[in-house]
Amino acid sequence: MSKLFWIPIITFALCQSTFFSTSIAVIFHKNITWPYISEGGTYPPESCIFSELINMASVFLGLIIYIRYRQIERLLYHHVSLLEQVARKNVVSLWIGLMACIGLSIVANFQLTKLPQVHYFGAFSCFGLGTVYFWFQGFISYSVRSYTGSMHMTYARLVLATICTCNIFVFISTTCTATEIIFNEREPSCRYKETSAMVEWVMATAFCFFILSFTSEFKTITMDRPIILVIRRETRPNLDSSEPSGSIQSLSIQVT
């Protein structure tokens, strides 16, 4: 059995444990009823832990997105009938997913209270592009359901994509008002802020479960170690120059 299935599980556990632990710390330290997930990355020392772990999660997410891309790419190699309806979606979803990972890293490293414009750019990149990635994967899952995955998993992914799509509009509308509250240091229990924070938690949880949904499919695939090409220069005496000269040979080495 492939060990790749551990990557979605580890990513799910890493994100959820980071979100909950840092948010609990914010609740106790700042007496906030329902904090944004991002507020765990605002106040030290939990902000340091938040940034470090979310950066790790971003790398794992990028790896999951790349593995999924290669999985579908290999499937198309054996089933050319799917090329027309899946190939382009697979490539586009790869780049959209990787940009969403960069957005998540921006959220972790640019605090809400220090650089709000950059922080919100990262948040909307993460949630917005991540939702688009979910829709692409939902359609891809439907197209390849006869070869990998299942119809139940396809429905689950489409439902999660729908939840994120609905919530992102609520998140945008409530966050604009909540931002003013945060910077003016008004009553932190304002309904706009609480609604915005709850919607953010719903989307983040949906994101985590979507990533977890790749577990079963990753059990059935393996990836070879990379082949490293070593350039070796064979030298021979050169009477006219002090610099060595010679031919270049390429050695192919399989990493073990």
pLDDT per position as a tens digit, 18-56: 888 877 777 776 656 677 787 766 767 777 888 888 899
Amino acid at 60: F
Model confidence pLDDT, tens digit, residues 154-163 = 999 999 999 9
* pLDDT score of 210: 93
Tokens of 9: 């599980």
Overall average pLDDT of the 3-12 stretch = 91
pLDDT surpasses 50 at 198: yes
Prediction pTM value = 0.79
Share of the chain above pLDDT 90, in %: 32
Q: How confident is the model at residue 221 (pLDDT cuts 50, 70, 90)?
A: confident
- Best mean pLDDT range from 210-219, 229-238, 242-251: 210-219
Q: How confident is the model at residue 192 (pLDDT cuts 50, 70, 90)?
A: low
* pLDDT score of 191: 66
Q: How far apart are CA 150 and CA 66, in angstroms?
A: 21
Overall average pLDDT of the 93-98 stretch = 95
pLDDT surpasses 50 at 196: yes
* pLDDT score of 189: 47
* pLDDT score of 39: 72
* Pair 153, 216: CB distance under 8 Å: yes
* pLDDT score of 235: 55
pLDDT surpasses 80 at 241: no
* Pair 157, 210: CB distance under 8 Å: yes
* pLDDT score of 255: 44
Tokens of 104: 């998540």
How many other CB atoms are found less than 10 A from the CB of residue 244? 11
Q: How far apart are CA 30 and CA 40, in angstroms?
A: 11
Element (H, E) at 250: strand 245-254
